[in-house]
Structure 1
Amino acid sequence: MRFFYAFIFVWAGVITGHAQFDNIIYDNYIYEDYIKSVTFGHTGIQTSYPVIDIGTQFSGRLTLGFDDMEGGFKTYIYRIIHCDKDWYPSDLQEIEYLDGFNYEEIDEFGYSVNPYSEYTHYELTLPNDDINWLISGNYLLAIYDEDYEIPVITRRFLVSETIVDIGHSIMKPKNVKKFNTHQELELSINHRKLHISRPLSEIYVTVLQNGNWNSAIQNIQGTYERGDVIYFDAFDNITFPALKEFRNFDIRSLKYTTEFVHSIDRDELGSTVLLDLNKKRYTRNFISDQDANGFFVLENFEYGSGEVSSEYANVVFTLESHKEYDEDLYIIGGFSDWQAKDDYKLEYDQVRKLYVGTAKFKQGYYDYMFALQTEDGLLDMDIIEGSWYETENDYMILVYYREFGSFYDRLIGVSNFNSN
């Protein structure tokens, strides 16, 4: 049983009036190595997805945060782009989906006060006095370095209406080959508040597991309708590998070790954190452990204002393996945007019979898993981690509606639930 994550690149065309800011990727992506610790969610809630109700106005906000490891001050500007359900730019003018103007400057920033780590922390809150959205749907937030005229960050976010009622149930798969390793969902969409002429062809559903767009099941259409209710229960249609509970480590304090942290060495250059030796879990029985379903939380216990007081520590990962795989091995999670990145690649040590890798992490709590990158660029977690039906996962259901003749996809409902 194998589980693959696809990373889909979608390249934008020239931006009218700002032609120097082209070639952005319509996905969660970091373009420059000096940009670290990118967070995007509800203000004050790090373990939240960037989904906001269109009716909240300023009572509900999203906050983007990131660190520039080159330090000093830079002029960063931002742009918001409306997208269709497949994350291509919508056929709309900015004036049709935005109240305000793009390319405003990010003016909230602070310099690091940690003696071991130099960086500048930037924050952007949306909506704000300069910009707000007018319609629901998929949106892309793009951050640019104005001086160098390059993109540095892109983040997906969602603006939702609450028009439909979403029902859901989770069960063991009907496909006997996936019975013990996967989780299957059945859905129902009640649209009694909205007249839809052709529900089976105008309603599309996307389902995400643990906020991971790379494994999302998209463009799901209903199986049949009864009255105002659309049912989604086709055989093996909405089925996800159940995975295992996430591995994790906690470095909110660098003065003492925590569970899964073997040792912390500190010198005049900073801190090195050695995690416990990891072992493969493919053949291990299911064990219920508490985790954050792929999230990470930036925080330190020693000082206030963790955004600028936290240290970047060198974290050492090891995985016991009596053989070297043909594929490259990575650690992945929310911190890596579920992507294979060179910073998180491990190398095989023939002498010690293990994989080892070192990466910089800002103080906090992190969930992660090991994944092999196959020849076609996909990520496979199952070979190292395994998958078991009882695993606890978060699911998010997105309901899109495009009426015949309309120029954009409305997001008319969102539902979050846990498999337990």
Structure 2
Amino acid sequence: MLYCTLFIIHCTFFFAQAQPTVDTIIDPRMATVLLYPQLGSTVGDPARTLNVPIVNIDDQVNTPLVLEFDDLTAVYRNFRAKIIHCNADWKRSVLNDVEFTYEYNDNPITEYQVSVATKIPYYHYRYAVPRLKLPGNYVLVVYNEQNQEQILFTRRFRLYTQRVNVAAGVRFSTDISRQYNDQQIELSLDYRAYQAQVTSPQDDFKVVIRQNYRDDRSVYNLRPTNVRVFDQLLEYRALDLRNTFPGGNEFRYFDTRTLFSRANYVEKISRLADRNVAYVQAGRPRSPQAYTQFDDFNGLFVVDHLESHNGSVEADYAETVFTLLIDELPNVSVYANGAFNFWALNDRNRLTYDAALGGYRGTIWLKQGVYNYDYAVTGVVPPISRSGVGPTIGNESLIEGDFSQTENDYEIFVYQRPPAARADQLVGYQKISYGKRK
């Protein structure tokens, strides 16, 4: 009994101190970590992964969150999942597990399948996230049951309740110098139906805007430009342009649902004895070019296997080769960027310059499917765009360009900490699209 008590205390202390609260894969043998709401009977639908992990707290029974991932060791291992609660800034809250969970907050992941007829063998795991009590920000932590200090990956998700009404719209920037490049979100927050006490609305409500489901493209700490107390309305207009985002460009994409022939934007498939190699069509900078309209997933991806339509266990992993034809950029790192890597710029998706090729090239192991991506840089580099003047801090704009016509999705999150509560709650959520094709 004493041993069990000490174990629980140690485990609780460890998770309170050591776990990251970002989307990240720590163990490189973990791959294709998906977290999505299960909408209706979409268990085998490849498009299910385009549903981002945000659920109304009242819909958890009918729309549970589902985790899927692959273990490339191809050996069955025991994994466990634990949930941590975070405030609006994604710092761990002070809540105890019993304050936001209905059951014991440490569960085994027992549902798995073995890959079928793939050159790269793997175990595919599936786990349904249990119901939770409070709306807010959460992080799902998966760790090795044999070593609780070995965290394998973490995934963020959100539960919301609609206690306030959000009205929002998107337009091009009111800044004359950026009206052809940026998009501006203006919104109002109506809290007349909010039942909790609000003493200082401009301080009590925390508004966050996110572009294309990317936490690295989020704006925090927005302040209302107009407080209409009698109408119980907050207005957020573009006085300081903090609610302005670079428009970006439509995402590049490629299709590897089949490895028997070349599909869209795949230059070559090499079917070797021990692996498949897919060469994505070589790209060039698009920032000097005019905007071109085409459909995309706004940076997301789907896993699919064209021959069987059972991508979960029959889709193979391919050594996917990215090529960007551009002169070498001194003191700069270049990356193939997308949701497949949680938008992180690290060694996994870094490209290296090849003088004989005349560009940058890199390989990433990706499961078969349809992927959106773009090219990003870090460092201080001269601009490529026609309108740029002076040095530019490296990002996606340098190679891809920014256009105010680009189709993008935006989300507005409204947080508030009710009286006597000990953590922030997500009390309002709204999604809006700009330039949606019909």
TM-score normalized by the length of structure 1:
0.92
Match of 2:389 in 1: none
- Which letter maps to 2:19? I
Provide the rounded CA distance (Å) in 2 between the counterparts of 1:314 and 1:410: 42
Cα deviation, residue 218, structure 1: 1.1
Provide the rounded CA distance (Å) in 1 between the counterparts of 2:160 and 2:272: 49
- Which letter maps to 1:152? L
Provide the rounded CA distance (Å) in 2 between the counterparts of 1:115 and 1:355: 29
Q: Summarize the Cα distance change of 1:15–1:328 in structure 2 as closer, same or farther, 3 Å threshold.
A: farther
CA contact (8 A) 1:161 1:413 kept: yes
- Which letter maps to 2:37? H
- Which letter maps to 2:29? Y
Counterparts of 1:21-40 in structure 2 under 5 Å? 23-40=18-35
Corresponding residue SS for 1:170: strand
Q: Which of 84, 89, 97 is the matching residue for 1:86?
A: 89
Q: Summarize the Cα distance change of 1:143–1:171 in structure 2 as closer, same or farther, 3 Å threshold.
A: same
Cα deviation, residue 267, structure 1: 2.6
Structure 1 residues 54-104: Cα deviation after superposition (integer angstroms, max 9, x where no partner): 111311111111111001111100111111100111121111111101121
CA contact (8 A) 1:114 1:309 kept: yes
Identity of aligned residues (%): 28
CA contact (8 A) 1:313 1:363 kept: yes
1:417 equivalent in alignment to 2:412: no
1:408 equivalent in alignment to 2:413: no
1:192 equivalent in alignment to 2:187: no
Provide the rounded CA distance (Å) in 2 between the counterparts of 1:234 and 1:388: 19
- Which letter maps to 1:168? A
Corresponding residue SS for 2:203: helix
Structure 1 residues 163-214: Cα deviation after superposition (integer angstroms, max 9, x where no partner): 1111011112122222111100100111111142321110111111011101
- Which letter maps to 1:206? V
Match of 2:376 in 1: 371
Match of 1:73 in 2: 76
Provide the rounded CA distance (Å) in 1 between the counterparts of 2:120 and 2:204: 52
Structure 1 residues 116-135: Cα deviation after superposition (integer angstroms, max 9, x where no partner): 011111111122xxxx2111
Q: Which of 202, 210, 213 is the matching residue for 2:215?
A: 213
Unaligned residue ranges in structure 1 (runs of 5+): 1-13
Cα deviation, residue 305, structure 1: 2.9
- Which letter maps to 2:401? G
- Which letter maps to 1:171? R
Corresponding residue SS for 1:117: coil
- Which letter maps to 1:28? D
Cα deviation, residue 393, structure 1: 0.5
Q: Which of 305, 324, 328 is the matching residue for 1:323?
A: 328
Unaligned residue ranges in structure 2 (runs of 5+): 1-6, 43-47, 381-392
Match of 1:394 in 2: 409
Cα deviation, residue 15, structure 1: 8.7
**Quick check: which one's helix share is greater?**
2
CA contact (8 A) 1:200 1:224 kept: no
Q: Summarize the Cα distance change of 1:379–1:62 in structure 2 as closer, same or farther, 3 Å threshold.
A: farther
- Which letter maps to 1:106? I
CA contact (8 A) 2:374 2:396 kept: yes
Cα deviation, residue 112, structure 1: 1.1
Where in structure 1 do 4 or more consecutive aligned residues deviate above 4 Å?
Answer: 19-22
Report which stretch shifted further, 293-302 or 266-275: 266-275
1:17 equivalent in alignment to 2:6: no
1:204 equivalent in alignment to 2:206: yes
Match of 1:383 in 2: 398
Provide the rounded CA distance (Å) in 2 between the counterparts of 1:47 and 1:363: 15
Match of 2:55 in 1: 52
CA contact (8 A) 1:202 1:404 kept: no
Report which stretch shifted further, 390-399 or 168-177: 168-177
Structure 1 residues 356-401: Cα deviation after superposition (integer angstroms, max 9, x where no partner): 11111100010001011237xx861111111110000011110111
Report which stretch shifted further, 218-227 or 176-185: 218-227
Provide the rounded CA distance (Å) in 2 between the counterparts of 1:217 and 1:344: 25
Give me the CA root mean square deviation: 1.7
Match of 1:276 in 2: 281
Match of 1:229 in 2: 233
CA contact (8 A) 1:73 1:120 kept: yes
- Which letter maps to 1:102? N
